[in-house]
Amino acid sequence: MTGLGWGIRSLGRHPLRTGLSLAGIAVAAAMLLDMVMLSGGIDKSFGDLLLQRGYQIRITPKGTLPFDTEASLPGARRLVRTLRADPEVATAGAILGSAVYARTPDSLVTLFGYGVQPESQGIYRVMAGADLAPADTTGLLLSAAAAAVLGGARVGDTVMLAGRLDPQIAAAAEDRSLVVRGMVEWLYDYRGQPSVGAVLPVMQRLARQATGDPASLVLVRARADSMVEPLVARLRADYPTLEVNSVVELVAQAKRRLSYFTQLAHVLGAMSLVVTVLLIGTLLTITVNERLGEIATLRAIGIGKATVVSQVLAEGVALTVIGSALGVLLGLATARYLDAILTSFPGLPAAFSFFVPRADTLTQAAVVLLVTGSLAGLYPAWLAARAPIAATLRAEAT
């Protein structure tokens, strides 16, 4: 019988004790898996979110992140034309974000409005209907949440948007009647955010000002990934009054903002490993002490120390493998539940995830657990190997 088979058979002698130990190992393994997914999931998810449309560079007003504040950069379309003429730039597009209002039969509804250049946009996906044409000044894009707020608006419906509202008299300085061209998913919206989009000039008139050509950010796509860092450095030199960041830098900034999640992941992951070692080590030590007579008998008939040690270690590996398999299932289930809680925090994009299951994540957790299970069996194996044969048999006989 192989060492692993012997270990599994040995565990079956005390099913209740083994079952409780496996449950504890499964919980510890699930915690380790979740913490590994959390520690690497933030930057992976945020990077994937920013790169969904392939734009590697963001240009914003100095000292801000996109849509963090009401600050804007002027001369957006002129800047975009200059960038598009750059031989290292594949394309560029300006985006304006601002609060707008929609008129309903009995009230005004607050929405978040995006002004976009549809030919070079990186913040939405068309789910139904059609995209806006670059010169379509009468078209509108709606998110599912915005459509629901507007009473189930659909493609082809007309929506009256109001901008630059005077809070004292609830009168708007700008009204626009727009036709819904498409239903879209806005990549940066938080869960349930009602958002609409129109071409940049229309949203500029509905937003802060009709002159100055403002934008919240400009997206830039380099012709090759290798050009990104040199291009960022050159743009910073060319536009010292603007903030120029690559996706890599934005991911680093987001990771610093959420560093407490990573620290928590490291602490809880280490605790889960300690719990695993204690569970496996304690169970194997009890098992070895109970079977000292059996081990001494095997040694007396010629079984070597190496065989005894390998069998005890195999029992630890068997515990780890079975417990880890259960832990993976439990970890994936709890990760989905915890992710739903964390991503419900205000201001986080709905597409963002804290727990990102990946093949390398699962492999890393599995390797760590197997090594831990093997190390946990070293002390019980040492006890089994050093047990004096004659004294142990004499004690068992009496």
pLDDT 10s digits, 194-252: 999 999 999 988 876 556 788 888 999 999 989 999 999 999 999 998 989 888 887 77
**Residue 174 Cα to chain centre, angstroms:** 40
- Is this structure's pTM higher than 0.85? no
- According to the model, what pLDDT value does residue 2 have? 46
What's at 382, amino acid-wise?
W
| CA-CA-CA-CA dihedral for 24, 26, 30, 33, to nearest 10 | 120
* Better-scored residue on pLDDT, 47 or 219: 219
- According to the model, what pLDDT value does residue 169 have? 44
- According to the model, what pLDDT value does residue 208 have? 66
- According to the model, what pLDDT value does residue 322 have? 84
* Better-scored residue on pLDDT, 189 or 117: 117
* Better-scored residue on pLDDT, 38 or 302: 38
* Better-scored residue on pLDDT, 3 or 95: 95
Sequence-ordered strand ranges (E) for 104-188: 108-116, 124-129, 139-142, 158-166, 171-186
Distance, in Å, from the CA atom of 264 to the CA atom of 270, rounded to the nearest integer, reads: 10
Task: Read off the pLDDT band of 67 (50, 70, 90).
Answer: low
Instruction: Give 77-83's long-range contacts (Cβ < 8 A, gap of 24+).
Output: 77/117, 77/200, 77/213, 78/213, 79/218, 79/239, 80/117, 80/120, 80/218, 83/218, 83/220
Locate the domains of the chain by residue range.
3-49+257-397, 63-240
Task: Read off the pLDDT band of 11 (50, 70, 90).
Answer: low
Q: Rg of the chain's alpha carbons, rounded to an integer?
A: 31
- According to the model, what pLDDT value does residue 251 have? 77
Sequence-ordered strand ranges (E) for 187-261: 195-199, 217-222, 242-246
Dihedral pair phi/psi, residue 133, rounded to 5°:
-85, 155
